[in-house]
Amino acid sequence: MTATKERENPVKAPKVPPAWRESTLLRHLFWSVLGLLALYLLSISLDPFRNLQLAQICYMAIATAGLTVLSGLSGQISLGHGAFVAVGAYSTALLLEHEQWPIALVLVVSAAITAALGALVGVAAARLRGPYLAGATLALAVGLPSLADYHGLREVLGGANGLIVTPPPPPLSLGESFPLERWQAWIGGLCLVIVLFLLANLVRSPVGRNMRLVREDEDAAALSGVHVARTQILAFWVSAGCAGLAGGLFAMVNNLASPGAFTLTLSLSLLTAAVLGGMGSLAGAVYGAVIVTLLPNWSNNLAQSANLPQEVYANVPLVLYGVVLIVVIMLFPGGIQSGVRWAGVFLRSKIRPE
């Protein structure tokens, strides 16, 4: 009788997931290709101004992703990430000042220069903790861009006016009338996907595990064999390299590298983007970059449509920043990515109820 019931109700074997889901590398590669395709389809449907905004979102997302690794993964607070972006931008401007080097070479060199500076800062930062580290990086954000106006460097770095950057034109194979803004969006999108792919694999690697251990408890990490200082320096190195790449893209997209573009506001905007998206989440870095990049334009349109006075008009973006940040933190303490994850779980439970 029991055997008959077992034949009538056989136990279903568990489904074997596809091979690409089992392999972290293949899974990240799949999402990278999908992301490139989505960015391509988006760029060809946008006008030049929107493509320019897309390029801006890409370099902001790259810098925010680097900050996410530093602060979210390894637990080191940085208020001076805008200074690293400035180094990347000025490196790109100097490289393109007299020669039209290949774009890939310029961006790689700019990222490498900034990463080297980040490693030096990381050596000093490894001795600092909490508010002392935040204060040191804050001083970096305030002091480093102002060096461009120092009398000994004014002729080289352009002083307060900065350096004009002439971005390399699109390849002739794309046609003489190919929009420069779309070409810049393609470059930014490709760089963003590559950075996210590399960082996603870093997070899943033993190095990423060591960073998380250091973030949770430095003493316990040291007892388990993790070299704490080396791990923290590596996090600064990776984060600064991302910021340098973002700075290179910034210079190409905005055709300028000047001290006024890299004030403390930029560093705080990057930190805001990381918190909004979800500190420690690479996808959250993209969400936060989208909001931080587009919110000023949305707020300006809102202020114009409401016919607000000029003294109120300038403060609308700051007010909206605060409102959005408060709402997101109240609803989703883990950032937008935690809300997206919750929505995904909720939808799956409705589609496939147990």
pLDDT above 70: percentage of residues in the chain: 91
Q: How far apart are CA 169 and CA 105, in angstroms?
A: 15
Q: Model confidence at 187, in pLDDT bands (50, 70, 90)?
A: very high
| Model pLDDT for residues 31-87, shown as the tens digit of each residue | 999 999 999 999 999 999 999 999 999 999 999 999 999 988 888 888 889 999 999
Quick one: which H or E segment has residue 57? helix 48-67
What's residue 288's pLDDT?
92
3-state helix, strand, coil in the chain (%, to 5): 75, 0, 20
pLDDT at 263 over 90: no
For residue 23, pLDDT beyond 70 = yes
Residue 27 near residue 21 (C-beta atoms within 8 A): yes
- The answer to whether the CB of 76 falls within 8 A of the CB of 125 is yes
Lowest mean pLDDT among 60-64, 165-169, 280-284: 165-169
pLDDT tens digits, one per residue of 91-126: 999 998 877 788 999 999 999 999 999 999 888 887
pTM: 0.89
- Cα Rg for the chain, rounded, in angstroms? 23
Please tell me the predicted confidence (pLDDT) of residue 223.
87
d(CA 256, CA 236): 26
For range 314-327, the mean pLDDT: 78
pLDDT band, residue 10 (cuts 50/70/90):
low
C-alpha 254/C-alpha 126 separation (Å) is 34
Average pLDDT of the residues of the chain? 85
The stretch 234-238 carries a mean pLDDT of 93
Type of residue at 23: S
Mean pLDDT is lowest, of 6-10, 55-59, 289-293, for 6-10
